[in-house]
Amino acid sequence: MLSFCITISGHKFFKLQILNSNIDDIVSMKNNQFVSVLFVSMMTTLLVSAYAISSLNIQSYATSSLGQSIQQNQQDLQSGINSQVQQSITDTINNINNGNNSSISNITRNPTQNITDSTMDVVKGGITSLQNDPLDNTTTWIVGGVYRMENLSSESPTFNGSFYMVKTDGNSSHSHEIYDLSLNTPPTDGTISNVTHLNGTTTVTLRDGPVHDVPTSITLLSDSAISIWLDPFKVNNHFGDYPIYGTQQLKCVDLPAYCK
């Protein structure tokens, strides 16, 4: 029984050794398989990571290249716009300069052009003159005002003038009117110089009231000046011995803000 038991025990022991040996083999094999699987998994992970990193680099490079391309396109577009705007400004300035030069050239070619819009039928301007005082040689009068002539091309032109008179010391300021021009003869043009003579009568206001039928001679001196002669005897020598002078331009028309 003991031997049997030993035998049995030995047999069992032998079986157990076999079992233990098998287990060790299995364990060893499992370990090898695990290492292999682990190695394969690690390699796979590395390959996938490398691919992912490569893809990211490619995408990053592509994104960077796209960004640079967009930036370059924007710079090119902005440069083109700036160039066109600059050219447009340059063209506008040139056109303005050309227009100004043309205007200056026209004025140069027509130095007698009346900038107050006087025409062949209408002349208007300022009365600007100094008149002597026949009763006192030390006294001079400042004369300033406006006039307007119409229908110059007709046989019955009109003349209306209004002006102030004041001594050069600022005293004795008063005003006069000239109107009701009636020609004795048609207007005549000078044969030598560019002048037009209008001879007739007018009504002139003085301190005591209007004086009618005052012999009057109005001379248009080219397209720039005017002289108004009033018979000294008829007006009590009030305006001195010389004609009243004026211009064929009127600053209140050229610069109306100054006359408001």
What is the dihedral sign for C-alpha 185, 241, 170, 173? Answer: negative
pLDDT at 11: 47
pLDDT at 153: 85
pLDDT at 39: 57
From the number of C-beta atoms within 10 Å of its C-beta (0-12, 13-18, 19+), residue 195 rates as: middle
E strands present in the chain: 122-132, 140-150, 158-167, 174-183, 188-189, 195-206, 209-221, 225-230, 244-247
**Which residue numbers in the chain have pLDDT < 50?**
1-23, 26-27, 30, 34-35, 37, 53, 56, 58, 61-62, 103-118
pLDDT at 36: 56
Instruction: Specify the pTM.
Output: 0.54
- In this structure, the strands spanning 140-150 and 122-132 are antiparallel
pLDDT at 73: 65
